[in-house]
Amino acid sequence: MTFYTRIAGAALMALGATGTLWAEAREVRIASHVSHFSPLHAQSELFAAEVEKRLPGQFEFKLYPGGQLGKEKDLMTNVQAGSIEMINVASGVMKLDKKLGVFDLPWLFDDRAHVRRAMAAGLEVAIRARVEEVGNVQVIGVYENGFRHVINTQRAVAEPFDLEGLKIRISGGKFRQSVFQDMGATPQKVSWGETFTALQSGVVDGAEAATYGFYEQKHFEVASHLSLTSHVYTPSFLLASNAFMESLTDEQRAVFHEVGRAITDQAYEASAALETKYFDEMKDKLEINEVDLKAFKEATSASYDSYVEGQGDDYLVFVRDTAEQ
């Protein structure tokens, strides 16, 4: 049964109780640049299903993962312009404002539990406000895209010096590339779709990405080591255009915001479950190893100085105050 079939079925069941006709349902597109393997897709499904429970038959949600409606930059532009109702994106939000670049800092969080503590302590509220201030969008939910790790064909990466001499396909801007360069790696620019072939042919020795990216691209078929570096954590952002939200009734608008917050725990749990599933399916194909997080943090601590100098440390206070001692 497809997602659309489930939602349509729920709406038809609600017909007898509410009298709301499915023909009146308003189409709402939720687009993402990443695939259905990603936690972002699961989050969009959660949101759509929960809104359907609260407002049966009023909306027909259509999900467009995998860049069907454009790359992340295009999706951001379109939701700001009001030409699409909703999107679920990740690092593209960081490009709205240098202050939001806090999530590009290496080894910002110890683990997912640390992320949750920092978000609950006030970081999420601050980030929501900043995104809405500079982005001309409404933030419906802040969830998880995930931690990024390193996969490669040469050796296990357990400490910073293990990256020495490795050609690593890096996504992101100059800042992330400089972090890897400082640890001796050679950043390579290769399109994501060509990374499998690049690994296979030796054009690159490795790549860094979220777990679902390695899984969906089957990098485990050509790489031998997956090191859980957790070097960057990226949230996901379920965003709605101002034009769309203003076109809703007061009740509908309230439900969208309420549901966006209400599914937060489920969204994080779904992300963790997906990552565990992908690890389990890859563990027999390649070696998966933990790393010395303390050593990596010490090796990259200087990278925080320029951020604090330019953007202050108010976001970092939430991170430091919620770290386990």
pLDDT in tens, 201-246: 999 999 999 999 999 999 999 999 999 999 999 999 999 999 999 9
Report the alpha-carbon distance of residue 307 to residue 317 in Å, rounded. Answer: 13
Domain coverage including residue 74: 26-321
Cα-based torsion angle of the residue sequence 4, 8, 13, 18 in order, rounded to the nearest 10 degrees: 130
pLDDT at 176: 86
Please state the rounded mean pLDDT for residues 275-297: 96
Q: Residue 95 domain-assigned?
A: yes
pLDDT at 3: 57
Q: Residue 218 domain-assigned?
A: yes
Q: Residue 130 domain-assigned?
A: yes
225 beta partners? 152, 287
Q: Residue 8 domain-assigned?
A: no
Concatenate the DSSP letters of all residues of 67-111 into one string.
Answer: TTT--HHHHHHHHHHTSSSEEEESGGGGGG-GGGGGGGSTT--SS
- Residue 206 DSSP SS3: strand
Helix or strand holding residue 277 (H, E): helix 264-282
pLDDT at 171: 87
The Cα-based distances of 198 to 87, 282, 285 in angstroms read: 31, 20, 19
Please determine, for residue 10, whether its predicted confidence score (pLDDT) is greater than 70: no
- Residue 15 DSSP SS3: helix
Quote the strand ranges of 167-324, DSSP E. 167-169, 186-188, 206-210, 225-234, 237-241, 287-289
Cα-based torsion angle of the residue sequence 97, 160, 224, 271 in order, rounded to the nearest 10 degrees: -40
> Which position has the higher pLDDT, 4 or 298?
298
Task: Give which of 89, 96, 105 is closest to 141, Cα–Cα.
Answer: 89
Q: What is the CATH number of the domain that holds 205?
A: 3.40.190.170
pLDDT at 15: 45
pLDDT at 127: 98
Q: Residue 77 domain-assigned?
A: yes
Please state the rounded mean pLDDT for residues 307-320: 96
Report the alpha-carbon distance of residue 156 to residue 288 in Å, rounded. Answer: 8
pTM over 0.85: yes
Cα 85 versus chain centre, distance: 19
pLDDT at 219: 98
Q: Residue 12 domain-assigned?
A: no
Q: Residue 19 domain-assigned?
A: no
User: What's the number of domains the chain is made of?
Assistant: 1
Helix or strand holding residue 264 (H, E): helix 264-282
Q: Residue 280 domain-assigned?
A: yes
